[in-house]
């Protein structure tokens, strides 16, 4: 499953034990709006795009359309994270084509009212599995600012290795400007999957 020109092709919908991770659709704009609006203060320290808040529902709809176009062009995949049981939107995630050949980066945020239930870990595990299901993906990366300890716990729990710490421009107010790169390679993933 890969498109040599546009990058790897990932599914539109992925399910895990408690979550449905699927492409945002135009009709989800109010759900995205409610989740981000409730979480602005919680996301502001870490997510650079919060600087564009407040946004209207219509602006979110336009953003969703842009994400759909990007996905169709084989660029980044941006997904909503929904509770399987109720359909409630509890966060956002993505598979980003910005870490060079053979790699893909997972990003995530969780609705402020739904943190502490292991959802970031669960979605990262299933996206890791999904990524390694695609030909040509040899490593999955998660990038965290050194100050974002809650986020760094996610790759740690999933067996990722901290491979690099480099200075980078501060793009959100909670950051200290040191980017940590966490990597899981295909071989280590297979080993963990097989209980090794």
Ligand X SMILES: CC(C)(COP(=O)(O)OP(=O)(O)OC[C@H]1O[C@@H](n2cnc3c(N)ncnc32)[C@H](O)[C@@H]1OP(=O)(O)O)[C@@H](O)C(=O)NCCC(=O)NCCS
Please report, as ranges, the residues that interact with ligand X according to CB under 6 A: 42-43, 46-47, 108-110, 115-121, 144, 148, 150-151, 153-154
Using CB positions, name the residue nearest to ligand X. 118
Q: Whole-angstrom Cα distance, residue 66 to residue 134?
A: 24
Q: Whole-angstrom Cα distance, residue 90 to residue 36?
A: 10
For ligand X, the closer CB: 46 or 189: 46
Retrieve residue 28's tokens.
């989800």
At its nearest, how many Å lie between ligand X and the CB of residue 168? 12
At its nearest, how many Å lie between ligand X and the CB of residue 51? 14
φ and ψ of 177, to 5 deg:
85, 25
For ligand X, the closer CB: 116 or 135: 116
Q: Whole-angstrom Cα distance, residue 188 to residue 167?
A: 27
In the three-class reduction of DSSP (H, G, I as helix; E, B as strand; rest coil), residue 161 is classed as strand
For ligand X, the closer CB: 74 or 112: 112
At its nearest, how many Å lie between ligand X and the CB of residue 180? 9
At its nearest, how many Å lie between ligand X and the CB of residue 183? 14
For ligand X, the closer CB: 2 or 34: 34
In the three-class reduction of DSSP (H, G, I as helix; E, B as strand; rest coil), residue 84 is classed as coil
Q: Whole-angstrom Cα distance, residue 1 to residue 121?
A: 25
């Amino acid at each position: 499953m890969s498109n040599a020109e546009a990058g790897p092709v990932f599914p539109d919908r992925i399910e895990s034990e408690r979550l449905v991770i699927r492409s945002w659709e135009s009709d989800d704009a109010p759900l995205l709006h409610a989740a981000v609006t409730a979480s602005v203060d919680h996301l502001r320290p870490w997510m650079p795009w919060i600087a564009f808040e407040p946004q209207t529902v219509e602006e979110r709809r336009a953003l969703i359309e842009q994400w759909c176009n990007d996905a169709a062009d084989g660029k980044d995949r941006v997904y909503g994270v929904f509770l399987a049981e109720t359909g409630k939107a509890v966060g956002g995630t993505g598979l980003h084509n910005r870490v060079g050949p053979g790699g893909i980066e997972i990003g995530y945020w969780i609705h402020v009212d739904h943190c502490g239930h292991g959802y970031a870990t669960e979605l990262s595990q299933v996206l890791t599995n999904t990524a390694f299901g695609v030909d040509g993906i040899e490593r999955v990366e998660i990038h965290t600012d050194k100050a974002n300890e809650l986020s760094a716990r996610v790759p740690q729990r999933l067996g990722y290795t901290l491979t690099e710490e480099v200075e980078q421009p501060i793009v959100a107010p909670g950051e200290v400007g040191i980017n940590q790169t966490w990597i899981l390679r295909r071989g280590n993933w297979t080993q963990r999957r097989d209980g090794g």
